[in-house]
Structure 1
Amino acid sequence: MFKIGEFSKLTQVSVRMLRYYDETGLLKPAEVNKYTGYRMYSSKQIPILNKILFLRDTGFTVLEIGNALKHWDNDYIKQELKVKEKETEENIKLENQRLAKIRTAMNDINKKQISIHYSVTLKSIPSYDVISLRKTIPDYFCEGILWQELCDYIKAERLNISEENYSFAIYHDKEYKDKGVDVEVCIITNQKGINRGNFTFRQTDPLEKVACSMVYGSYENISPTYMSFVHWLEENNQYEITGISRQVCHKGPWNEADPNKYLTEIQIPVKLREKL
């Protein structure tokens, strides 16, 4: 048996953490001296401690560690690790987005460019014959899944439609949503076909007037560009938004290896305000 200090030194786990594991019920001392109150540990507890340390280092909470220790078997741990893997991937994505914003801010400070630059033009958009796929997806970053599904469907059905055809996405929600976004991806085609499930051959509505802005560089630049429309609409208050937005990816992962050279066009339908 080892005193807590001895056990701490041999296992390279601080006394503070051993006491914490005792308090939370993860690792109780093998014995507590009834006269001195000293916590005593056994070598037989090292495998349990190693499990705790492994789970802690892979991001498990105290509650999750406790549940894992109670249900420890290969299938249960594999399933829990898969869940933690997905959570970690999401956290990495969020942290990379945060890092990109930090680097952009630092670059803007160095260049003394902390202001919103935008160039908005007005044009009309004709009606298009398209094959489209519309679904509610977890968030805007999952849009690529829809494009992949649509391209896979075209190949599976052996449709004579090139992935290089003019394509765009329509965002059917009237407001920005963090989760559960309604997105339709469209590829222009003259071919007619039978609608199956969410795969639809249809004609899009013509847009008499849209405010357009080009986004150069990675997709992280899209959000600030949307904000620039606020300034444009304030300066051109004779216009008001009248419909749902579209995005046209002129250059993206499929035809450009460098994200800094991506080119995306944002289109927001507008109309002249009625005079009172």
Structure 2
Amino acid sequence: MFRIGDFSKLTQVSIRMLRYYDNTNLFKPHFSDETTGYRYYSAYQIPTISLIVSLRDMGFSVAEIKEVCHYDTLNDLKSLLTKRKNEVENSITEQFSRLKQINDFIANINKERVNMNYNVQLKSLPSYKVVSLRELVEDYSQEGMLWGKLGEFAEQNRIKLNQVSYTVYHDRSYKEKNIDIEVMIGVDELGESQGEFVFKETEPVNKVASILVSGDYTNLKEAYAYLAKWIEDNNYTINGIALQSCLKGPHNANKVEDYLTELLMPIC
């Protein structure tokens, strides 16, 4: 049996923490002398306190550690640790994403932004013959999947395509989940629609404000803000759903810096 000070040295756990674990009923002394109040510990308790310290360092709460200490099998412990591992990995991913946002923001502050003044052009859009695919997807990252499905459909059915391609975001407001996205590619001739793959002619648009955005897709947010200011300053109003056309992207550019996206906003 060891008094609390000696047990503290043997386990490298402070007296303060041993008393705290006792008071929270997480780890009790093997014996407490009611007369002197001294706490005595057994060497057989060392594996338990070692487990508690390890779990604490992994971020488990006292309540969670109590639950672990009552587990009967190692499989239960392994299951809990696997769950914690997944939580930590997700947290790391989120933190790296935040770190990238911070670094990008710092870079934007420290460098001269060549894209701060976009060249807005006014033009009209004729009616196009297209084959389209419209789905409700989990988030914006799924747009590439839609393009892949549409391209595969066109290839399997030997559809003659042209250079026209647009993405339409049909939601009336910005959404982070369950996004209504339509992708479309120009065709030489209209075919017969098959399920979710639809052949159609798009409606002509009398007037759109168009700007070209270079580089990473994260630049689009700034471009939309610029376009909104331009529309307001020039006394126009939005008159339809915005279109995006990927002129250069993952399909035909090796570097993100070479990406080129056209934003088209119907106005009147």
CA contact (8 A) 1:68 1:77 kept: no
Alignment match, 1:148: 148
Task: Measure the CA separation in 2 of the matches of 1:23 and 1:175.
Answer: 53
Where 1:148 maps in the other structure, the secondary structure is helix
Alignment match, 1:274: none
Q: TM-score normalized by structure 1? A: 0.73
> What are the equivalent positions in structure 2 for 1:180-199 lying under 5 Å apart?
180-190=178-188, 192-196=191-195, 198-199=196-197
Q: Taking structure 1 as reference, are residues 175 and 36 closer, same or farther at Cα in structure 2, changes over 3 Å only? A: same
Alignment match, 2:171: 173
- Equivalences, count: 258
Alignment match, 1:47: 51
Q: Taking structure 1 as reference, are residues 114 and 160 closer, same or farther at Cα in structure 2, changes over 3 Å only? A: closer
Task: Measure the CA separation in 2 of the matches of 1:16 and 1:125.
Answer: 74
Unpaired runs of 5+ in structure 2? none
Where 1:176 maps in the other structure, the secondary structure is coil
The answer to which of 1-10 and 28-37 deviates more is 1-10
Q: TM-score normalized by structure 2? A: 0.75
The one-letter amino acid of 2:266's match is P
Post-superposition offset of 1:135:
1.9
CA contact (8 A) 2:52 2:65 kept: no
Post-superposition offset of 1:213:
0.8
Q: Taking structure 1 as reference, are residues 39 and 166 closer, same or farther at Cα in structure 2, changes over 3 Å only? A: farther
> What are the equivalent positions in structure 2 for 1:68-83 lying under 5 Å apart?
72-74=76-78, 77-78=81-82, 81-82=85-86
Task: Measure the CA separation in 2 of the matches of 1:162 and 1:87.
Answer: 46
Q: CA RMSD in A?
A: 3.8
Alignment match, 1:268: 265
Unpaired runs of 5+ in structure 1? 272-276
Alignment match, 1:231: 229
Task: Measure the CA separation in 2 of the matches of 1:151 and 1:18.
Answer: 64
Q: What do the CA deviations read for 1:101-150 (whole angstroms, capped 9, x no partner)?
A: 2221222xxx4x69942221111112222222212223333322322333
Post-superposition offset of 1:163:
8.2
The answer to which of 258-267 and 145-154 deviates more is 145-154
Q: Taking structure 1 as reference, are residues 29 and 174 closer, same or farther at Cα in structure 2, changes over 3 Å only? A: same
The answer to which of 214-223 and 78-87 deviates more is 78-87
Where 2:237 maps in the other structure, the secondary structure is strand
Task: Measure the CA separation in 1 of the matches of 2:106 and 2:19.
Answer: 39
Q: Taking structure 1 as reference, are residues 139 and 48 closer, same or farther at Cα in structure 2, changes over 3 Å only? A: same
Say which one has the larger Rg: 2
Alignment match, 2:100: 96
Task: Measure the CA separation in 1 of the matches of 2:7 and 2:32.
Answer: 15
Q: What do the CA deviations read for 1:211-231 (whole angstroms, capped 9, x no partner)?
A: 011111111111001000222
Identical aligned pairs, as a percentage? 36
Q: Taking structure 1 as reference, are residues 243 and 21 closer, same or farther at Cα in structure 2, changes over 3 Å only? A: farther
Post-superposition offset of 1:24:
7.4
Where 1:72 maps in the other structure, the secondary structure is helix
